């Protein structure tokens, strides 16, 4: 999957979240969006997911330009799987229905087919025993695995992860990171916002470093981790990799 971003800016009132962002990635495999808090990572991810509209600039995926029209955005959202740090599960539905209901209502699956696919994913992600539990009955790691199963179920052309482990304890974090690594091995295009720098260093093919709403560096992950070109990225890595 090819990604092109040209001159994208986004503000919220007086706050500029993104400023003239330019980015060209010939093939998305695993791209990690890194940088300090407030740097614009989540805003860029939400724009790519079709959940926010930039104030200016153009974005295209495989030559298909993202457009602000609601009909187009609805189609785009159906083709992208997004996993949020807060899980975003329906609290009144079981794990099974959290996966199967969108398949029925949004993607046109028959009820039995949707339930069958949902159970396959719950089995794969070691969640069958929790299929009929509501989110309140699940651990944080289990909730996030259900959210990932829901995102994968729609067979997305791109998977987006926004700090998927930020609300988890260390053991649950490992569970979720292992699952993301498994998806990487399958060759699914992934774009990941994370503060888990060690994990990003292990799985990412490319890194995008955002600072104060601007892309300061992007390119080969190994090269950027070993030889960052800007003082901002050097300072960021010095802090997060110190311990």
With a pLDDT cut of 90, the percent of the chain lying above it is 77
User: Cα(first)–Cα(last) distance of the chain, in Å?
Assistant: 35
Mean pLDDT of the chain: 93
Q: What's phi and psi for 130, nearest 5 deg?
A: -110, 10
Which tens digits make up the pLDDT trace of 22-38? 999 999 999 999 999 99
Q: Which pLDDT does position 236 carry in this prediction?
A: 95
> What's this model's pTM, rounded to 2 decimal places?
0.91
pLDDT of residue 83: 92
Q: What is the pLDDT of residue 210?
A: 97
Answer whether residue 242 shows pLDDT above 80: no
Contact 217, 57 (CB under 8 A): no
Q: 190 and 221 in contact (C-beta within 8 Å)?
A: no
What would the pLDDT profile of 103-147 be if each residue is shown by its tens digit? 999 999 999 999 999 999 999 889 999 999 999 999 988 999 999
- Mean pLDDT to the nearest integer, 50-65: 94
Q: Does 61 have pLDDT greater than 80? A: yes
pLDDT of residue 21: 97
What is the model's pLDDT at position 34? 96
In the chain, what are the domains?
Answer: 24-50+67-79+159-243 (3.40.50.300), 90-156 (no CATH)
d(CA 146, CA 34): 25
- Grade residue 1 by pLDDT with cuts at 50, 70 and 90: confident
Confidence band of 213 (pLDDT split at 50, 70, 90) = very high
Of residues 117 and 243, which shows the higher confidence score?
117
Contact 162, 42 (CB under 8 A): yes
Length of the chain equals 243
pLDDT of residue 166: 82
| pLDDT recorded at residue 171 | 82
CA distance linking residue 3 with residue 1, whole number of Å: 7
Residue 20's SS3 state is strand
């Amino acid at each position: 999957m090819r990604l092109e971003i040209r001159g994208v800016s986004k503000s919220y009132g007086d706050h500029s979240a993104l400023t003239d962002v330019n980015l060209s990635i010939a093939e998305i495999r695993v791209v990690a969006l890194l940088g300090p808090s407030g740097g614009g990572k989540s805003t860029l991810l939400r724009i790519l997911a079709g959940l926010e509209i930039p104030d200016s600039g153009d974005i295209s995926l495989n030559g298909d330009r993202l457009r602000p029209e609601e009909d187009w955005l609805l189609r785009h959202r159906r083709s992208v799987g997004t996993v949020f740090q807060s899980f975003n599960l329906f609290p009144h539905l079981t794990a099974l229905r959290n996966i199967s209901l969108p398949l029925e209502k949004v993607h046109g699956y028959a009820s039995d087919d949707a339930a069958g696919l949902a159970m396959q994913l719950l089995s794969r992600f070691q969640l069958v025993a929790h299929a009929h539990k509501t989110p309140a009955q699940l651990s944080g790691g289990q909730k996030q695995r259900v959210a990932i199963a829901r995102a994968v179920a729609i067979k997305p052309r791109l998977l987006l992860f926004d700090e998927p482990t930020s609300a988890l304890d260390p053991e649950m974090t490992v569970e979720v990171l292992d699952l993301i690594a498994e998806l990487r091995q399958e060759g699914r295009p992934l774009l990941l916002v994370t503060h888990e720098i060690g994990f990003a260093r292990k799985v990412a093919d490319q890194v995008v470093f955002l600072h104060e709403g601007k892309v300061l560096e992007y390119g080969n992950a190994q090269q950027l981790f070993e030889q960052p070109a800007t003082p901002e990225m050097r300072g960021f890595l010095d802090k997060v990799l110190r311990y």
